[in-house]
Amino acid sequence: MKKSIFILSLIFVVLYSREITAQQIDLSHYTPLKSSGEMPEDISKHFFEIFQTRKDELKKAEPNLKGYSNEYALSSAYYLNQILKSGKLLFGDPLSKYVNTVADSLLRKHPDIRKSVRFYVIRVPIVNAFALDPGVILITTGLLAQIENEAQLAFILSHELVHIINKHSIDLYLTQQKLDKSKDDKGTSMIDSRIFKYHFRSREHESEADKLGVKMFLSGSPYDMNIINGIFDVLQFSHLPFDEKAGFIKSLETDFLHFPEKLILKDINPISMADDADDTLSTHPNIKNRRSYMNDYIKEFDNTGKKLFVQPADLFHKVRDLARFEVIHSQLLEHKYVEAAYNAYIMSEYIPNNPYLEKAFLRSIYGISKYKTHSLGSFLTSDYKKKEGYMHQAYYFFKNISKLEMNVLALRQAWLISKKYPDDVYLNTLCNDLVMDLKLQKIKLDDFQGIKGKLASDSVSTDTMTYPDSKYGRIKENSQKKKTVSKKFSDDKEYLAYALKDIVGDASFSKFFNSVKVVESQDDINISQNNIFKLKRLEIDTILVFNPYFIKLDERKKNTFRIMTSMEKETDITNKARNIADKLKMKTRFITSQNFSQGDVNQYNEFCLISDWLDEFYALNGNFSMPLYQYQYMKEIKNKYNTKYIDLIAFASIVRKKSFAEFMDLFVTSLIIIPIPYTLYMAFNPSYTSVYMNTLADLETGNILYSKRQFFNFNTRRDHVNIRLYDSFNTFRKTKK
Amino acid sequence: MKLRTVIFIIFAVLLFSGITKAQVSGYMGKRLMAKFDTYTNIYIPESFEISAHPFSIRKSAGIEYVAFRNVSVGASYYFCKSSFNSMDGVGTMNNKGISLGASVFSDDGLTPIGRFLRYEMIYYKSAYTIAIDDYNDMTAWAQNVKSIKTGDIGNVVFSLTFGQSAVLFDRVNLSYGFQLGYRLGYVIDNLSKPDGLSTPDQIKYDIHLRNMNHTLWGFHIGIGYLLF
């Protein structure tokens, strides 16, 4: 009996422990991180509840806020709510567990603080950390991907803890209010001097957080304090990839594929070492200042016996690798393909033959090829001149490579990877798409010279060698070359004829290439469906409605953004959409952040997956269609809800100040007796501009099947909302039979 | 209005609805509306000594059907009691008429919500009654004898209403606006202005003038009920 209780307890401890081990992180089977375990109250609580609690707390505990407590509680609760429910937050995953373990070590002597502050990881590729009132610290995956040891993370956490404990956000808010009231300094220079004062106060907070973080937390923890220079290096070079390594372009070459010299940039921009940028308009002091005062400051503390790692170092490295995988994933979603390709290359140098990295690398170059095919390559490489280090070379390469070259390069890569992972249907789709793009450029399999098994240099017949250095020899040599070298490729792209040499000989490739049928682009169909005058239903059985959005702005008020009305209306719009869908007997599934109150983690993860999909969808911006990268992770959603259509609903309502022209119109109209009632009505009635947006898209391809953007000069009254939602849903649904 | 005309209008509306696409949603699927409209006009007479009543409220009851996304078509029955000035005094007239019209909602509006412009062709029949002076020339002294004249006179008015429309409680339609109208043939009538005697032509002219005035402009307020 005792033994069984012991085993059960052990299982319980293993399952529910917040600790994590390196063995639990399996990078060879990486899929984007999901949250697990119990949903934290920060996410499950409804906005109104968060606001009410915060308001009551502030009234009691913050006499400084005086008349501002309501306004401050509202804005802080709103922004907290928006970030925590953005679908980017992780809980119960290996990264969050690790950060919490470090926080445990750091705050061993401060159990009360540990209890009151919550630490989360947010899936954002930028290098940053945030302290949000009241007591939430967010660490980005970008930061976890770049730090070098556990002590650096502990320093970041210490810094953010000071922001919370010293209530910097309240102080900054009050500073802003005070500056808004003071009008003395307004207009004394090109930039309002109040902005300088605000940033100065913010920099004071940052310096305080740097120093007090060490004094209050880091010095009493087991963590090494001599990591200051290292962490500032991380911040200074945060815009660079995970590492600086040559050979990225070489890694794309084979025995048969050598890129011309013109694609390889020799004179790359050096990495800027300047750390003393002008920080007068920055919220943070510049890196040089921070290094300087912190290096002096830490000398006051005893560093003996302190460690870089409290947890095993290999766990840290596994966590960092996982964060790096997440960053690559985010970069792919945001269509930052060059960064994703370079980072995947860097990571595959450390972790060779990793399936995710191979596929991510392929997806990056596939994405670049698609942009090039649609003549939109400049979208990806527009700011290449500003890039530094090897990233500059990578950008230069992808900027200058032609669409045909990129297409062939991507196809080569796609075929090799799909052969390696034959069960991956998504890879097969990419191959299919790339062959189709090639065929649309009138390229045939025969155009790849390598099918004959010879390189260009091998193709001169022995006959020409009879007189190698004579007029006749050269005539025959040139004639022979013309026969063997494809005319499809111009002289500067002649190398492409051999680019697929190692795969064109493969019968399965030839069979696959020939089997791909060219289908005209779906884009034309969609454009006609977008036409609002086209009176045709889309005949869709089921749709997913994702998080309807409402924003209310009032230009007449000091705080233009009306948070409470926006949040109330958002709930109202969701309910209205539900009712209308029911009325039309449509099968609709609503995935909204309002459902988090039920504490269903699966639903939260579905929300996150769709939120990621939206990143990619918005990055694509309806420019063209292609198999979306995120879709491969959404099969469960598609099967569960039996649809691949997603509907995005948004309303915006703006109460405008009456313009001078409008007042003049009213004045002139008031001179005429007859329309006086109308003039009076218009004089007292505010002016409105409202916008209704509804987009129905295909989850698989990002195709926009229906897009409506209507502007109307009325408030978003019940009837306006109802008629627009009904009209859209009515267009989607199946015709009754 | 004769029953035959009413049946014809309903038939025409139903036929029209059959050829329009089902995806036109109207308001929450409701496309047919019964409505009651009023148009108030103030008439400023030439003289206040003997004058017709300055106010006239034209009323109409009808149906309106959402034919396209931003167009509805409708038919109405108009009625309005009024009075008119003539050389011999004030006559009364009872206007009854039918109209066919179409409301076009602006691009940002979906029928029946938002700003609209209604084009309407109204046919009025004005039944008048007036006591006129009748002179007996057979006697040595003229004797003033009053006699009652009655009759029907037709008018065709083209009306343009611009206004706003909203739906309350998902069923009730409210609209308000301003109406402008033009009685067709008014210019031609003025070319052959009668001599001012109480001849039938003069009465016809006076009635046309009154109808011209009270349809020239008006404040519009309407209420409707969304049927199905």
Residue A92: left (phi > 0), alpha (psi -120 to 50), or beta? left
**pTM of model > 0.95:** no
Q: Round to whole Å and give the CA distance between B63 and B98.
A: 12
CA torsion sign for A437, A442, A448, A451 is: positive
* Closest residue by Cα to residue B79 from B33, B32, B39, B131: B39
- Whether A669 has its CB under 8 Å from any CB of chain B: the answer is no
CA torsion sign for A382, A387, A390, A391 is: negative
A73: which 2 tokens?
């509680």
C-alpha count within 13 angstroms, C-beta hemisphere, residue A315: 19
CA torsion sign for B200, B202, B205, B207 is: negative
**Partners of residue B220 in chain A, C-beta under 8 Å:** none
- Which residue shows structure tokens 């047919």? B32
- Helix pair angle (A228-236, A287-297), 10° resolution: 170
Q: Indicate the residue of B28, B114, B178 with minimum beta-carbon distance to A726.
A: B28
**Partners of residue B110 in chain A, C-beta under 8 Å:** 723-724, 727
**Per-residue 3-state assignment (H helix, E strand, C coil) for A511-568:** HHHHHCCCCCCCHHHHHHHHCCCCCCCCCCCEEEEEEEEEEEEECCCCCCECHHHHHH
A to B CB pairs, distance under 8 Å: 55
- Whether B55 has its CB under 8 Å from any CB of chain A: the answer is no
pLDDT for the residue numbered A530: 42
For residue A714, give the chain B residue with the closest CA: B114
**Partners of residue A708 in chain B, C-beta under 8 Å:** none
Q: Residue ranges of the domains in chain B?
A: 3-136+144-226
Residue A31's CB: how many other CB atoms inside 10 A? 10
A2 pLDDT tier (thresholds 50, 70, 90): low
**SS3 state of residue A102:** helix
**SS3 state of residue A243:** coil
- Condensed to tens digits (0 to 9), the pLDDT of residues A116-171 reads 999 999 999 999 999 998 899 999 999 999 999 999 999 999 999 999 998 888 88
Q: Round to whole Å and give the CA distance between A362 and A596.
A: 36
Thinking of the domain B3-136+144-226, which architecture would CATH place it in?
Beta Barrel (2.40)
Q: Indicate the residue of B23, B108, B168 with minimum beta-carbon distance to A712.
A: B108
Say whether pLDDT at A183 is over 80: no
**Do A712 and B109 make contact, defined as CB atoms within 8 angstroms?**
yes
Kindly write down the DSSP assignment for every residue of A561-587, as one continuous string: B-HHHHHHHHHHHHHHHHHHHHHTT-E
What average pLDDT does range A602-620 have in this prediction?
92
Phi then psi for B59, rounded to 5 degrees?
Answer: -115, 150
- Which residue shows structure tokens 């070492």? A273
**Do B69 and A727 make contact, defined as CB atoms within 8 angstroms?**
yes
Q: Round to whole Å and give the CA distance between A522 and A528.
A: 10
Q: Indicate the residue of B29, B113, B219 with minimum beta-carbon distance to A720.
A: B113
Say which residues have a Cβ less than 8 Å from residue A422's Cβ, sequence separation at least 6: none
Q: Round to whole Å and give the CA distance between A628 and A537.
A: 25
More confident residue, A483 or A148: A148
Residue A112's CB: how many other CB atoms inside 10 A? 8
**Do A724 and B23 make contact, defined as CB atoms within 8 angstroms?**
no
Q: Round to whole Å and give the CA distance between B158 and A333.
A: 60
| Spacing of C-alpha A224 from chain mean position | 33
* Angle, vertex CA A526, rays to CA A521 and CA A528, nearest 5: 115
Residue A650's CB: how many other CB atoms inside 10 A? 17
**Do B108 and A726 make contact, defined as CB atoms within 8 angstroms?**
no
What average pLDDT does range A322-351 have in this prediction?
95
What average pLDDT does range A6-26 have in this prediction?
60
What average pLDDT does range A537-565 have in this prediction?
89
* C-alpha torsion A457→A459→A464→A470, nearest 10: -40
- Whether A59 has its CB under 8 Å from any CB of chain B: the answer is no
Say whether pLDDT at A485 is over 80: no
- Whether B28 has its CB under 8 Å from any CB of chain A: the answer is yes
Is the separation of the CB atoms in A275 and A286 below 8 Å?
A: yes
* Angle, vertex CA A133, rays to CA A132 and CA A138, nearest 5: 20
- Whether B10 has its CB under 8 Å from any CB of chain A: the answer is no
Say whether pLDDT at A521 is over 90: no
**Do A719 and B109 make contact, defined as CB atoms within 8 angstroms?**
no
**Do A711 and B178 make contact, defined as CB atoms within 8 angstroms?**
no
For residue A730, give the chain B residue with the closest CA: B23
CA dist A285 → A202, A206, B227 (Å)? 9, 7, 68
Kindly write down the DSSP assignment for every residue of A162-176, as one continuous string: HHHHTTHHHHHHHHH
Q: Round to whole Å and give the CA distance between A403 and A449.
A: 19
Query: A34-43, A75-84, A602-611, A680-689: which range is least confident on average?
Result: A680-689
**Per-residue 3-state assignment (H helix, E strand, C coil) for A679-735:** HHHHHHCCEEEEEEEEEEEECCCCCEEEEEEEEECCCCCHHHHHHHHHHHHHHHCCC
* Closest residue by Cα to residue A635 from A613, A604, A618: A613
Site from B17, B19, B25 to mutate, A interface, most A CB atoms within 10 angstroms: B25
Mean pLDDT of the residues in chain A: 84
- Whether B108 has its CB under 8 Å from any CB of chain A: the answer is yes
Q: Indicate the residue of A532, A678, A726 with minimum beta-carbon distance to B25.
A: A726
For residue A712, give the chain B residue with the closest CA: B108
**Partners of residue A724 in chain B, C-beta under 8 Å:** 110
Kindly write down the DSSP assignment for every residue of A336-347, as one continuous string: -HHHHHHHHHHH
Q: Round to whole Å and give the CA distance between B157 and A645.
A: 51
What average pLDDT does range A553-582 have in this prediction?
90
pLDDT for the residue numbered B147: 77
**Do B25 and A735 make contact, defined as CB atoms within 8 angstroms?**
no
- Condensed to tens digits (0 to 9), the pLDDT of residues A26-61 reads 888 899 999 999 999 999 988 888 899 888 888 887
pLDDT for the residue numbered A528: 40
A667: which 2 tokens?
């004045």
**Do A584 and B29 make contact, defined as CB atoms within 8 angstroms?**
yes
Most confident of A32-36, A460-464, A596-600, B215-219: A32-36
Helix (H) or strand (E) holding B154: strand B143-168
- Which residue shows structure tokens 């750390």? A275
More confident residue, A158 or A474: A158
Q: Round to whole Å and give the CA distance between A43 and A80.
A: 10
pLDDT for the residue numbered B144: 64
Q: What is the DSSP letter of B71?
A: E
Residues 67-106, chain B: which have Cβ within 8 Å of A? 69
- Condensed to tens digits (0 to 9), the pLDDT of residues A205-232 reads 888 888 888 888 888 899 999 888 888 8
Q: How many residues make up chain B in this entry?
A: 228
Q: Round to whole Å and give the CA distance between A92 and A90.
A: 7
Which residues in chain B show pLDDT less than 70?
Answer: 1-3, 6-7, 9-23, 44-52, 107-108, 134-145, 186-199
